[in-house]
Structures are given as structure tokens and as C-alpha cells.
Amino acid sequence: MTGWSTADIPRQRGRTAVITGATGGLGYETALALARAGANVVLTGRNGAKGQDALARIRAQLPDAAVIYETLDLASLASVADFAARFAASHDALDLLINNAAVMALPKRQVTSDGFEMQFGTNYLGHYALTAHLLPQLCRGQNTRVVNLSSLAHRTGAINFADLQSQRAYVPWRAYCQSKLAMLMFALELQRRSARNGWGIMSNAAHPGYARTELIPNGPGTDSLSWRLGRYLQPFMSHSAAAGALPTLFAATSPAAEPGGYYGPDWFYELKGPPVPARIMPQARDTVVAEQLWDVSAMLTGVSFDQIATAA
């Protein structure tokens, strides 16, 4: 695996991939690499203008790329369901789902259209519901993979069932850490359930390390201490969005990626460098909490994997 790069991506011709948050940053770089490898790529995002711009940039480099854009707002369960219905109407199968989109450490507590705390709702619950809605197509895919984007932030995360929506006390970074821990736990639990139920889905996770993307200025903003500190450390501690996408691409395409695997950069504290197996904290491996989180997520979103699997 040492030095793994986009040159090592197996040909993806004939495979269909859906990527959330694909209009910029990590999602865009992931989409570009998969399109270059021959995949049929569905870019999704909230902003149609950014979506069309992303398509234009990919097609400028890859005129024959099979890429389309579809609107998907993970902060709206109605938008998630609508996208899944549109996708099912035009695609019988889905081979690769990359749950990438995220918001980070919003200074003030905000809520989704369904009343969930914005980070937990967007980063985790939206992806939980999306994956469940797409389960029939995923089960009909070939060598199907689902990749969840977690973060180094999961290391200090905890699932607070007493206050999942941070209503009692909103601490921006704590809420972000919880959402990214939930994403890693979701990946591991999905793999366990896929194996148990015969869904044929390989579920794993990745994190980008410290990648230079719009995530920080779109979250805490340029006046925050974390942004100012990060600006000075970036030249030494970070890597590009394209490099940050490599762990995701490894998890999504490499024959060496494993079910329930977790991948991140190989340098100090997993901040930058080519992809290698990443450290999973003990709380992410807690199967009791993972099962409870799964059940609570079904209740909150009104979307049940078991019911969808049975109906399919």
C-alpha cells in the first residue's frame, strides 16, 4: 500500500458512483478521480450553480467523462428521499456510494429543516437516511461499496444519547466530533449488518487528515482561533484536497481495502500522506452503542433498513 495514488485505482468502467458534497473540495477530487478511471459518476450537492461548475471543470479535463449532477440537500430528509426516488427511477443498481458531505463546527447552533442539530443532521442522519433509501440499488450493485467519511475528530467524540441534538448545551467542536464518530460507527455497523443479512455490501470508512478545503472557513469561519492557527500550520501540517481524497479513493476502489476497514494518511498523527489503515478509537468499536445509535437513527429519520430490505 506504500505510496498508493490515483494511478493505482483499478478501471471503474461500468460502475456507477454517487458522491455527496461533490461540488468542491474532497468530494470534487473524488469525483474527478473516479471519472478519470471510467466510472459513471453522480455528483450531488445543495447548490445547482456549483454543481454545474463542477461538471464543467471535470468535462474540461475529461471531455468524455460520464458525469451528471443531481441536487441533494442532506439537511432535508425530504430532499434525501426525493433524490433517492429519482435515482431509483433511472438506475437499477448502485455500485459505489461515498458519503462525503459535511459541515464543521458551526459557531452558533443551527437546525436542519427537520429540526436536527445541523452537524448531526447533515453529517450523519442525512447519510444514514440516504444509504437506507438506496439499499435496494446497493444490493443489486456489483462488488458494492459504501464509504463513510469520518475524521480525526472522532477520536474525542462521544455519542450523547441524552442530548444528541445539543439542545441543552451546544459546543461546536463537540457536536462535530459526535457527528464524525457517528459516521465511523455507522460504517462499522453497516458492515456487520450487511454480513449478517446477506446484503452484499462492503462498508468501510476513511478520513482525509488535514486537507486544505473550504470546510473550516465554511464552519468556524475566518475569525475563529482554529482557523487562524490552522492558517499558520497549513504549510507544514496539511496536504491538498486531492491528496486528502486518496484515503477515500483507496477505500472505494482498492482490492486491498477490507470490509470494516478505516483509512487515513500515513504521516504524523495521520495528518497527511498516502493512505494506510487508520486508528479506530475504542468508542467507535462499541457494538452496544452502535446498535442503539442505529435504532435511534431509524426512529428520528423514519427510515428503516430492515423495512426497506424486506420490501425490496
Among all residues, which ones are annotated catalytic? 176
Let me know if 62 is exposed, middle or buried by CB neighbors in 10 A (0-12, 13-18, 19+). Answer: middle
Dist. CA 204–CA 158, nearest whole Å: 20
For cell 467524540, what's the residue? Answer: 157
Asked whether 65 and 58 are in contact (CB, 8 A), the reply is yes
Contact 276, 1 (CB under 8 A): yes
Element (H, E) at 60: helix 48-61
Q: Are 113 and 121 in contact (CB under 8 A)?
A: no
The CA distance from 113 to 192, in Å, is: 31
| Residue whose C-alpha is closest to residue 275's, from 303, 239, 244, 230 | 244
CA gap 310, 195 in Å, rounded: 16
Q: Alpha-carbon distance 37 to 8, whole Å?
A: 10
Instruction: Quote the cell numbers at residue 37.
Output: 478511471
Closest C-alpha among 196, 312, 304 to residue 260: 196
* Phi, psi (deg, nearest 5) at residue 45: -175, 175
What count of Cα atoms within 13 Å lies in the side-chain half-sphere of residue 241? 18
Q: Which amino acid is at 162?
A: A
- SS3 of residue 70 by DSSP: strand
Q: 246 with 267: CB under 8 angstroms? A: no
Number of continuous H segments (helices) and E segments (strands) in the chain:
12, 10
